[in-house]
Amino acid sequence: MTANLGFVKPTRRTGELGVHSLDHFHFVVPDLAPAKTFYGEFGLEVGERGSNLTLATEGGPHVWGTIGEGPRKKHQYISFGAFEDDLDRFAERLQTLGVRRVDPPAGVDTNGLWLHDHDGNLVEIAVAPKTSPSEKSRFVQASAGPLERGAPSRSAVKRTRPRRLAHVLMFTTDVMKAIDFYSRVLGMRLSDHSGDGIAFMHGIHGSDHHMLALGKSNAPGFHHLSWDVGSVDEIGVGAMHMLSKGYDKGWGLGRHVLGSNFFHYVQDPWGSFAEYSADIDFVPHDADWPAADHPPEDSFYVWGPNPPADFIHNYEA
Ligand SMILES: [Fe+2]
């Protein structure tokens, strides 16, 4: 019940250096109006800050991402959260590893450490509250008892409101180099991978099975943003709502093998996806996940419809 009612003390793995959360992302699109409509209908709280849109989840102050204007849809940066007393150690690590620090993007006011990853993507390590889960996220599969109605009338169904950003899947030109970079520099750990085609990485201080996923492409770009919900019903209700608003392309309902989450992906106005995700596997701060290499044909999804032909197309390439 505690997860239901709020505060869970942030967990921390002692003696090891690593980011604890995927704090926020930033990307640009040619026109903010379709972005505002899409993410609002998806169930997020869309606000404005300066010339950017902000994406928050219901009832929470955290801004999970910002969207600016640019000539075409393009990923800009990801900011990872770290514990305050780890930031100096990260600065030392960057120096030791010969990773050059770069200036923050113009107009971004921050005291974080900025660097480029193996693909030239801008990455920040900043002091931030731990927003990754510190225990397995609540998941409900209610079953009605005798003489009880299990399902509500359609008119009584509540809109789906995601609880938090769960993960981002980035395209990368080299999955093995990505694993190496995000492990050595940011202190994340490999959860599972399928050869050099896709990899899933978690934070060491208590995290979902993945807060960052990396898929092979000929160029960087972001493939999907995943948002955590509490039941398969919420996934279905969210998918139906998006369909009723004309967002009829996507993939789901299904269940992944790696991460185990139930999913439905809705294609956004730029060809990438927003995922409703429920019941993803959890890696506690005081235990190690048994990372393994899985054959792709046996590990993409357990069940679900066939993915659309452009599901792994990189529209940013
Ligand atoms: Fe996902």
| Ligand 1 geometric centre to CA of 224 (Å) | 7
300 Cα: distance to centroid of ligand 1 (angstroms): 11
Q: Does residue 142 or residue 203 have the better pLDDT?
A: 203
The pTM of this model reads 0.96
Q: What is the DSSP string of 224-244?
A: EEEEE-S-HHHHHHHHHHHHH
Enclosing H/E stretch for 78 = strand 74-82
Q: Distance, CA 304 to ligand 1 centroid (Å)?
A: 14
Expressed in angstroms and rounded, the spacing between residue 186 Cα and the centre of ligand 1 is 20
Q: Please give the distance, rounded to the nearest whole angstrom, from the Cα atom of residue 95 to the centre of ligand 1.
A: 33
Residues 97-117 pLDDT 10s = 999 999 999 989 898 999 999
Q: What percent of the chain has pLDDT over 90?
A: 96
Cα-to-centroid distance, 275 and ligand 1 (Å): 6
Q: Taking Cα atoms as reference points, which of 44, 86, 59, 39 lies closest to residue 266?
A: 39
Query: Ligand 1 center to residue 169 CA distance, Å?
Result: 7
Dist. CA 102 → ligand 1 center (Å): 29
In this structure, the number of other CB atoms found within 10 A of the CB of residue 282 comes to: 20
The pLDDT score that the predictor gives to residue 4 is 47
